[in-house]
């Protein structure tokens, strides 16, 4: 299988928003003339925390496609899998993100640092291919969940060896320079990001020719959502090099669900507040799995008592990623980002609320993906 040039990872925690996410991509096509292929991604970590099965993501994707009469390509991504957990994803998924970050060494020559990870990627790829059939899925290799960024030269080594290992990867997710905290903007040196992103694009084009990798090989940005300041840079450079791109966002949709609840009515607002209060009380537990990708400043977190007094507008503006709004609070937003476990535990209260307020929530989700994310790539 061959994935098209532009694709967007639109996984969502609770598999409720497939239609709204697809609507956003269709709207983006109308507005900017660019067809993003939807890829519904969900990691094993998310499945474990929410207690869901990969088959539910497949159902969500199929239902969304059917509901909107979409006749283009779409995929279901087994996100960040390894040899230990990939088997439960084999049937439902047709896109596999092979995560070999744990096999990357902290120092040494490129060979010492990366070869064990590349060998592992080969092993996992062959395992999937044996079970699924090599022509029935798209392969991504991810190396983003590590402390140190990979330089363009290191990317060249990685691609060369992945080609030697015969992994037909179509997307690669390196760790880029700077911080990609969940649900908030990029933090780092934008000029450095731009330089390395451009070099990465050149390296990919060269490696495709030199090592016979798939000709649609493209960068995959595990954005952690909402990296608004790098979107125009990426947009400009992929056009300059006529390159494709895969952008993964997932958590951003769950954040919009909370905003939707907050603005829907009094009951919805009360539920959003309850989730925040629950998160405050269990901050340690919730933030540990995401320690490397969030920066919550606890001094900036309002008390549950204070939030209790807020009206819908205050809650929404505190959450909504509008950097120009003085009420916007990145620490509040990041804490909510990792607190979907609380919502999952409130299942009987939470899931019906997603249904009840589907219209309000849907509008938030569509606007967020189309207007705040994709617009920044293509409509300058």
Q: Which residues bind Zn ion (CB under 5 A)?
A: 144, 222
Minimum CB–partner distance for residue 287 and Zn ion (Å): 17
Smallest gap from Cβ 101 to Zn ion, in A, equals: 8
The burial class, CB within 10 Å (0-12 / 13-18 / 19+), for 84 is exposed
Q: Using CB positions, name the residue nearest to Zn ion.
A: 222
- Smaller CB separation from Zn ion, 141 or 162: 141
Smallest separation (angstroms) from Zn ion to the CB of 110: 21
Query: Residue 6 pairs with which residues in a beta bridge?
Result: 245
Rounded CA separation 154/114 (Å): 9
The CA distance from 274 to 266, in Å, is 12
Contacts 24+ apart (CB under 8 A), 200-204: 200/152, 200/155, 200/174, 201/237, 201/238, 201/241, 201/243, 202/152, 202/241, 203/152, 203/153, 203/155, 203/156, 203/159, 204/155, 204/159, 204/172, 204/243
Return the number of the residue (144 or 200) whose C-beta is nearest Zn ion.
Answer: 144
Exposed/middle/buried for residue 16 (C-beta within 10 Å: 0-12, 13-18, 19+): buried
Between residues 60 and 77, which has the closer beta carbon with respect to Zn ion?
Answer: 77
Q: How far is the CB of 42 from Zn ion (least distance, A)?
A: 12
Give dist(CA 38, CA 264) in Å, integer. 27
* Residue (223 or 318) nearer to Zn ion, CB: 223
The helix/strand/coil state of 41 is: strand
Decide whether 182 or 274 has the Cβ nearer to Zn ion. Answer: 182
Treating both helix axes as pointing N-terminal to C-terminal, what angle do 18-32 and 358-367 enclose, rounded to 10 degrees? Answer: 40
Beta carbon nearer to Zn ion, 81 or 353: 81
| Minimum gap (Å) between residue 361 Cβ and Zn ion | 25
CB of 224 to Zn ion, least distance (A): 8
Specify the 3-state DSSP secondary structure of 8: strand
């Amino acid at each position: 299988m061959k994935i098209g040039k532009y694709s967007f990872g639109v996984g969502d925690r609770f598999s409720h928003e497939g239609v709204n996410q697809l609507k956003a991509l269709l709207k983006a096509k109308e507005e900017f003339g660019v067809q993003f292929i939807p890829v519904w991604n969900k990691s094993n970590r998310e499945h474990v925390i929410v207690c869901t099965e990969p088959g539910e993501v497949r159902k969500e994707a199929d239902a969304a496609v059917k509901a909107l009469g979409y006749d283009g390509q779409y995929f279901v991504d087994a996100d960040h899998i390894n040899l230990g957990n990939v088997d439960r994803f084999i049937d439902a998924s047709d896109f596999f993100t092979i995560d070999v970050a744990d096999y990357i060494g902290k120092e040494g020559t490129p060979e010492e640092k990366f070869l064990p990870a590349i060998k592992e990627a080969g092993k996992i790829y062959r395992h999937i291919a044996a079970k699924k059939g090599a022509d029935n899925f798209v392969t991504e290799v991810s190396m983003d969940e590590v402390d140190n960024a990979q330089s363009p030269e290191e990317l060249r080594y990685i691609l060369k060896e992945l080609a030697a290992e015969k992994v037909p990867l179509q997307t690669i997710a390196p760790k880029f320079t700077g911080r990609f905290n969940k649900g908030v903007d990029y933090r780092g040196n934008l000029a450095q990001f731009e330089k390395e992103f451009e070099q990465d694009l050149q390296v990919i084009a060269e490696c495709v020719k030199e090592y016979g990798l798939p000709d649609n090989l493209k960068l995959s940005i595990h954005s952690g959502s909402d990296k608004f300041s790098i979107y125009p840079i990426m947009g400009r450079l992929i056009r300059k090099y006529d390159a494709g791109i895969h952008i993964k966002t997932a958590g951003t949709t769950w954040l919009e669900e909370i905003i939707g609840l907050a603005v829907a009515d009094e009951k919805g607002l009360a539920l959003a507040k309850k989730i925040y209060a629950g998160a405050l009380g269990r901050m340690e537990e919730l933030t540990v799995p995401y320690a490397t990708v969030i920066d919550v400043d606890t001094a900036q977190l309002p008390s549950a008592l204070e939030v209790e007094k807020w009206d819908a507008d205050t809650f929404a503006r505190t959450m909504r990623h509008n950097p120009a709004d003085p009420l916007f609070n990145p620490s509040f937003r990041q804490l909510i980002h990792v607190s979907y476990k609380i919502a999952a535990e409130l299942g009987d209260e939470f899931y019906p609320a997603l249904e009840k307020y589907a219209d309000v929530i849907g509008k938030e989700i569509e606007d967020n993906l189309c207007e705040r994310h994709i617009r920044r790539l293509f409509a300058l």
